[in-house]
Amino acid sequence: MMPRSIRGRLALLVLASIALVWTIALGWSYRQATREVAEWDDARLVQLAQFIVLLDQADLSVLANTRIDARTEYSRHPNGATATDGDEAPREALFQVRDRDGCVLASSARLASLGAFELPADATPGAHIVTLGGQPWHSYILQDSTTGRTARVLEPPNSRSDLTTGVAGRIAKPIAVALPVLALLVWISIGHSLAPLQALSKAIRARDASKLEPIEIGPTPVEVRPLVDAINQLLLRLRLSIDRERAFTADAAHELRTPLAAIKVQAQVALVAQDAAQQQLAMQRVVQGVDRSAHLAEQLLLLARLDEHRTIPGHLVALAALAQDAIAANEPNARRKGMSVALIGDAHSEVIAEPVLMDILLDNLIDNAIKYGDAGGRVEVTIRRNAQAVMLTVADNGPGVAPGDIARLTGRFFRVTGNGASGSGLGLSIVARIAEYFGAKVDFSAGINDRGLAVHVSFPVPAVESVRIARSSGI
């Protein structure tokens, strides 16, 4: 199981990679050394055979009772023995020399103890593996054309050169010593490389919860910079969100203070009123104040819920049907002011939205138009479609809005001055927030016959068409 520490994981991976490379290199080196040493040993047998085949009978007799060390280098001259090759263990070699007729001229004394051994008459010169005394032996046969002699030199496999082991040892020992040192250096180096992360962690731990300024820890590696930037972006969003909540809380407290104070005053009037009619009027005003406060609280809660979500999934909804339902819901308010509300335009247009939120959007637009329109006036809900958008427009022919106030209409708690209508100042803020969820755009212009106010909400057509195509294709 990999360690959960980045430092430990990196150290383990680096050391494992190095160990793997070293193991492969050691194996390759050992294989190469084995092949080269085998060639070297075969060459020594050839040299020994060339040396023996030229010896006279007296020297051969002496050599037969002498322990031959195959480590010794030989030349073709009788006195050509030189230094050994540096192997630590002696390497015994045996020999046998025959004349032209196949008669044994000389043979190592130990050959007899290994059992009967005869050189075949048709033995092929060169390197062979022969069985002697039940064990395989390396053998080399040499025929001298001048003397007619045939020499065979033999060497048991277990006495072959220890150079291979020496090479492996010389490679493995430095690795065995270097690996712990390398592990320490890798551990220290990785710790140094991870220092920016430790500095970042320390900077975050040292921060007060109210301190949301960007984090700066000095020069940072390219790999750490995205993490620092992401944290700073998160801190910025948190700071903006907290600032909005603080402003919203302050505005909400201010807005609720006025109706609550009015309710208290009217309740006090009702308590001291001697006249029943005056008392009833005061209680009616208390009820109106409670209704207004409840409406304001509902709007505030709705905005708070909307602010919790960045996006809300939607689907195709029939805009005209939702508009007709919203008109019917606001019909009593329009009738009390003697106003008419008409639905005009494309009855089949669809937009991508969430039905409940679209109901809220339409209800706020129509309620605002009725509330701020003139008594006996008119409200028109128009649905139009072109190549770019599906346009929803709610217009009235009331007093309208001053040009300087247009930009502030979607601000929270903004109310047009000089209008007797009471409201929370949140309706168009809610409209703008819902429109933002579904990629719609809110604009304002003059209302009916260039009077009053018209609110336009345009929904993009491409998204609508893509869903329509998918639906028609059965996807």
Average of pLDDT values for 275-285?
Answer: 83
Select from 372, 363, 415 the least CA-distant residue to 396.
Answer: 372
Domain that holds residue 66: 6-165
Examine the domain organization and report whether 80 and 111 are in the same domain.
yes
pLDDT given for residue 412 in this prediction:
60
pLDDT given for residue 89 in this prediction:
52
pLDDT given for residue 198 in this prediction:
83
- Nearest 5°: the CA angle 106, 110, 111 is 65
Examine the domain organization and report whether 284 and 317 are in the same domain.
no
Q: What whole-number percentage of the chain has pLDDT above 90? A: 2
- What CATH number does residue 393 fall under? 3.30.565.10
Examine the domain organization and report whether 298 and 387 are in the same domain.
no
- Choosing from 278, 306, 334, the residue where a domain stops is 306
Q: Does the pLDDT of residue 15 top 50, yes or no?
A: yes
pLDDT given for residue 386 in this prediction:
81
Do 42 and 169 form a contact (C-beta atoms < 8 A)? no
- What CATH number does residue 56 fall under? 3.30.450.20
What are the respective helix, strand and coil percentages of the chain, to the nearest 5?
55, 15, 30
Please write the tens of the pLDDT for every residue from 399-427: 877 777 766 676 665 555 545 555 556 67
Examine the domain organization and report whether 296 and 376 are in the same domain.
no
Residue 197 falls inside a structural domain: no
Give the separation between CA 166 and CA 86, rounded to whole angstroms.
10
Average of pLDDT values for 351-365?
Answer: 82
Residue 200 falls inside a structural domain: no
pLDDT given for residue 240 in this prediction:
80
pLDDT: is 115 or 443 the higher one? 443
pLDDT given for residue 122 in this prediction:
56
What Cα–Cα distance (Å) separates residue 405 from each residue in 11, 430, 450, 458, 460? 65, 17, 17, 21, 27
Own/partner long-range contacts of 4-12 (Cβ < 8 Å, ≥24 apart): 6/194, 6/197, 7/187, 7/190, 7/191, 7/194, 10/190, 11/183, 11/186, 11/187, 11/190
pLDDT given for residue 10 in this prediction:
85
Burial 191-221 (b: 16+ CB within 10 A, else e): eeebebbebbeeeeeeeeeeebeebebeebe
Q: What whole-number percentage of the chain has pLDDT above 70? A: 76
Examine the domain organization and report whether 29 and 161 are in the same domain.
yes
Band (pLDDT 50/70/90 cuts) for residue 431 is confident
Give the separation between CA 278 and CA 287, rounded to whole angstroms.
14
Domain count, the chain: 3
Q: How far is CA 452 from the centre of its chain?
A: 54
Residue in the structure block whose two tokens are 């000389």: 106
Examine the domain organization and report whether 273 and 412 are in the same domain.
no
Please write the tens of the pLDDT for every residue from 185-244: 888 888 888 888 888 888 888 888 778 888 887 777 788 888 888 888 888 888 887 877
pLDDT given for residue 67 in this prediction:
78
Q: How far is CA 116 from the centre of its chain?
A: 76
Q: Does the pLDDT of residue 309 top 70, yes or no?
A: no
Examine the domain organization and report whether 148 and 243 are in the same domain.
no
pLDDT given for residue 440 in this prediction:
84
Average of pLDDT values for 103-110?
Answer: 84
Examine the domain organization and report whether 278 and 412 are in the same domain.
no
Q: Does the pLDDT of residue 77 top 70, yes or no?
A: no
pLDDT given for residue 267 in this prediction:
85
Q: Does the pLDDT of residue 470 top 50, yes or no?
A: no
Examine the domain organization and report whether 293 and 437 are in the same domain.
no
DSSP 8-state assignment for residue 72: B
Do 81 and 72 form a contact (C-beta atoms < 8 A)? yes
Residue 421 falls inside a structural domain: yes
pLDDT given for residue 71 in this prediction:
59
- Choosing from 165, 181, 201, the residue where a domain stops is 165
Please write the tens of the pLDDT for every residue from 366-383: 888 888 888 888 999 999
Do 442 and 435 form a contact (C-beta atoms < 8 A)? yes
Asked whether the CA dihedral 212, 216, 222, 224 is positive or negative, the reply is: negative
pLDDT: is 181 or 221 the higher one? 181
Examine the domain organization and report whether 399 and 448 are in the same domain.
yes
Q: Which residues fall within 8 angstroms of residue 418, CB to CB, at 6 or more apart?
A: 399
Band (pLDDT 50/70/90 cuts) for residue 307 is low
Give the separation between CA 173 and CA 181, rounded to whole angstroms.
13
Q: Does the pLDDT of residue 288 top 50, yes or no?
A: yes
Q: Does the pLDDT of residue 474 top 50, yes or no?
A: no
Lowest-confidence range among 47-51, 126-130, 205-209, 403-407? 403-407
Identity of the highest mean pLDDT range in 2-11, 90-99, 185-194 = 185-194
Lowest-confidence range among 52-66, 102-116, 158-172, 336-350? 158-172
Please write the tens of the pLDDT for every residue from 81-90: 444 444 555 6
Q: Does the pLDDT of residue 96 top 80, yes or no?
A: yes
- Choosing from 165, 195, 214, the residue where a domain stops is 165
Average of pLDDT values for 245-259?
Answer: 65
Give the separation between CA 194 and CA 231, rounded to whole angstroms.
17
**DSSP 3-state assignment of 340?**
strand
Average of pLDDT values for 31-37?
Answer: 81
Average of pLDDT values for 346-375?
Answer: 83
* 0.75 surpassed by pTM: no
pLDDT given for residue 302 in this prediction:
64
pLDDT: is 4 or 202 the higher one? 202
Residue 202 falls inside a structural domain: no
pLDDT given for residue 65 in this prediction:
79
Examine the domain organization and report whether 290 and 346 are in the same domain.
no
pLDDT given for residue 83 in this prediction:
45
If you average pLDDT over every residue of the chain, what do you get?
77
